Copies of this chain bind each other. A is one copy, B any other.
């Protein structure tokens, strides 16, 4: 069972594994796969170690692990969904970790049970990972009311997003009522996160308001709340100025489908300024969208979106891993790179071969 090396959860004994075994088949046989019933029982009982093991199954590339993961998710499904899911994004350096540390502490004093997950597809390139360094959230990660899981590494955005989404369901089944999904505000991952959360929080730095131009318009449009972080010391005045500038800028955007007017707040992880206000806004948002029906409608839309995503992924896997395509692909690639045939014609040919191969 591959353990995520950046996993900060305690390691779980996994039966007798001899890493130096010369016979991989024998070694694989010796590994004890976790039992679905045991995992489900553990998760529903709030067992963090078994929750961690189940997420490791979710994150695994192996088919047997995936089968276990899907069974566990299916059994947890009736117990999932009863949380507020909050996406948090911001460019590197904006102070996401310290914000989550401070915000998380506040949530716990408010009686929340908090799970922090992450999406960072860039980690496959940089080998670094957000939430990967547990010292970055030292207090929070040692708190029994918080469960922190770093971003699964070495995968495509689609893969990482699916894993995070399934991990949310498991965390909810384990009784975590507040889910934070962290992402770096530099790529496409915001869209993925936005499609799995109820509330989207954008962290920005104090400044003259020009920074807004630096953030992709689409990300600003997603935000339900902009928090101007690091509003302490000399930067407090600047942050207040930025707040006004962002408030003005937000007026330029069209009204949101949720009928929620995005808020701007200044905050500081050091002084805790603004932290309770942000939590209050999130609660206001929840009441607002529950009463106008958007909260539920949005989740239904997200479920549909993820169904399509899952279908497309499964479809591709079944195609590219079929024997007939594996065999035909090298010639097809040769033909297209040598300019003999158009991509369209080759794709057509491969598709017919694939569908034909199922005619038996």
Q: Which residues of B contact A351 (CB under 8 A)?
A: 311, 314-315, 318
A311 and B304: CB pair below 8 A?
Answer: no
A217 and B186: CB pair below 8 A?
Answer: yes
Give the residue among A218, A311, A319 with the most B Cβ atoms within 10 A: A311
Given A336-B303, A342-B70, A359-B359, A315:B314 Cβ within 8 A = no
A343 and B307: CB pair below 8 A?
Answer: yes
CA distance A359 to B358 in the complex (A): 6
Q: Which residues of B contact A78 (CB under 8 A)?
A: 339
Q: Does A15 have its Cβ within 8 Å of any Cβ on chain B?
A: no
**Interface SS, A side:** helix
Give the residue among A310, A333, A336, A345 with the most B Cβ atoms within 10 A: A310
Q: Which residues of B contact A306 (CB under 8 A)?
A: 336, 343
B307 and A312: CB pair below 8 A?
Answer: no
Given A307-B332, A315-B319, A347-B311, A74:B342 Cβ within 8 A = yes
Q: Does A30 have its Cβ within 8 Å of any Cβ on chain B?
A: no
B300 and A342: CB pair below 8 A?
Answer: no
Give the residue among A211, A216, A336, A347 with the most B Cβ atoms within 10 A: A347
1/0 per residue, CB under 8 A from B, across A44-82: the answer is: 000000000000000000000000001001100110110
Q: Which residues of B contact A313 (CB under 8 A)?
A: 347
Q: Which residues of B contact A74 (CB under 8 A)?
A: 341-342, 345
CA distance A188 to B347 in the complex (A): 24
A333 and B358: CB pair below 8 A?
Answer: no
**Of B187, B311, B344, which contacts A310 at CB under 8 A?**
B344
CA distance A12 to B310 in the complex (A): 43
A350 and B311: CB pair below 8 A?
Answer: yes
Q: Does A251 have its Cβ within 8 Å of any Cβ on chain B?
A: no
3 closest A-B pairs by CB: A214-B214, A310-B343, A310-B347
Sample of 18 more A-B contacts, CB < 8 Å, known A70-B342, A307-B336? A77-B340, A77-B342, A91-B213, A186-B217, A216-B216, A303-B337, A303-B339, A303-B343, A306-B343, A310-B347, A312-B312, A312-B316, A313-B347, A314-B344, A314-B347, A355-B358, A358-B358, A359-B359
> Chain A interface (Cβ within 8 Å of chain B)?
70, 73-74, 77-78, 80-81, 91, 166, 186-188, 210-211, 213-218, 300, 303-304, 306-307, 309-316, 318-319, 332-333, 336-337, 339-348, 350-351, 355-356, 358-360
Name 21 A/B residue pairs within 8 A (Cβ), A-sorted.
A74-B345, A77-B340, A77-B342, A81-B339, A186-B216, A210-B210, A214-B214, A216-B216, A300-B337, A303-B336, A306-B343, A307-B343, A307-B347, A311-B319, A311-B350, A315-B315, A315-B316, A356-B358, A358-B358, A359-B359, A359-B360
